[in-house]
Amino acid sequence: MLIGVIADDFTGASDIAVTLASGLPGEGGLHTVQYPGVPDSAAERHVEAGVIALKSRSLPADEAVTQSLAACEWLLAQGCQQIVFKYCSTFDSTDKGNIGPVLDALRQRLAAKRVVVCPAFPAMGRTVYQGHLFVWDKLLNQSGMEHHPVTPMKDADIRRVLQRQSTTPVAHLPWKLVNKGNAVINEQLTQLTETEPQLIVVDALHDEDLIQLGIAVADDRLISGGSAIALALAHNQIRAGRAAGNPQKLAPVAGPAAILVGSCSGATRGQIAEHQKRWAVKAVDIDAVMEDKVTPQQLAEFVFAHQENHPLVYSSGTPDVVAEIQQRYGQQRVSAKLDRLFGDTAQLLVQQGVRRLVVGGGETSGAVVSALKPTSLQVGQEIDPGVPALLAGGEVPVALALKSGNFGRQDFFAHALAVLAGESASDIGN
């Protein structure tokens, strides 16, 4: 294995996995496998990039550090020379959050003097300029992320957010230097760490900035960022002669399908509304969930009764509604109940014959994959930016698409089901 990734949630793991599997246009990528949690056994020899999906984004810092270090040790045992810590492109982490502590721990374990920090994902409107994170034309703390139910982002200055969490000094590399290319980037990173280790927040406005940054840190033991930090990492391995370029595409999977959605992001709510115009949708009443009046069997019955209409089950709500429910029942209790419901439902659906599952929301995706317990997920073609087709092996393969809340086109859910089945967009509903 050449590159190892520690991702702090399941959708983020899929996001960076497809980036590594795709590589730069015309080159191909790395043979990439996603692992739900730290594996119990060694990776297969042909795997070039391993992505460990943790469910650590909202964990207390000490727990996230322990899990991340365990993932790092496994990846090092597989021969990885470069470790990537992948977090969300909206840097989801409060002042008590764990991105800084995990970076501190990994930096010390790997004896890394410099660690780039770049959550930018230009294809999804996430850019970093003067150390501030933007979502399209809005500062992060004015983008809606300030209302996130678990990790509300109140400060767009990544340098300040990170320094409040980390014991390592935080520096900054501005875009006017990033724009000069990989040689200047490498020189500046070296200068910034001449006297002491640094976490270096790097500006990036375009994919090309991230490609040049990736080339500049080709030999770094540890790097960090959103999925776009990996744009050039396969290229580095191919250029060095350690990989040949791997065009990955999974075989289509037919059979019954279901869509399970637990995200409350604005993008996901819009996608649900779009889906509802044409297809079968069922809203889960959270009060009923908390009173144990909603069962996996009821949701499975809905799915199988509407198989011809791309059935979607969701628990999403507006930020105000979600906040009111969490205040009434407690945020942790609500999350645990919904995770259990969706996980048990997914398990029941697969037992009863569902072979394609599309899941919306990072926490929900983690609950579903944890319930299905695949040992690994093969990474295939990109369905939409940041969302790959995945294949969970076993006696009967199950195709998955795990979508982060803010990702995906307006008709994402039906589109994803079609891609997993090997159909084109024009085939949907025909």
The sign one gets for the Cα dihedral 422, 427, 429, 430 is negative
Rg of the Cα atoms in the chain: 21
Q: 381-400, pLDDT tens digit by residue?
A: 899 988 999 999 777 889 99
Looking at residue 182, its pLDDT comes to 98
pLDDT recorded at residue 430: 43
Q: Where does CATH 3.40.980.20 sit in the chain?
A: 257-427
Q: Would you state the pLDDT for residue 363? A: 87
Q: Would you give the distance in Å from CA 152 to the centre of its chain? A: 18
The pTM is what?
A: 0.86
Amino acid identity of residue 415, one-letter, is H
Q: Where in the chain is the domain with CATH 3.40.50.10840?
A: 3-239
Closest alpha carbon to 250 in 392, 390, 377, 424: 390
pLDDT of residue 154: 93
Q: Three-state DSSP class for 128?
A: strand
The answer to whether residues 260 and 427 touch, using CB atoms and an 8 Å cutoff, is no
Residues 49 and 82: beta-carbon distance below 8 Å: no
Q: How far apart are CA 385 and CA 362, in angstroms?
A: 16
Give the CATH fold of the 257-427 domain: Molybdenum Cofactor Biosythetic Enzyme; Chain A (3.40.980)
Residue 96 confidence (pLDDT):
87
Identity at 339, one-letter amino acid code: D
Low-confidence ranges of the chain (pLDDT < 70): 247, 424-430
Per the CB < 8 A criterion, the answer to whether 224 and 85 are in contact is yes
3-state secondary structure of 257: strand
Q: What is the pLDDT of residue 322?
A: 79
Please give the backbone phi and psi of residue 7, each rounded to the nearest 5 degrees, phi first.
Answer: -105, 140
C-alpha distances (whole Å) from 62 to each of 76, 97, 120, 239, 313 are 21, 10, 26, 38, 34
Instruction: Classify domain 3-239 at the CATH topology level.
Output: Rossmann fold (3.40.50)
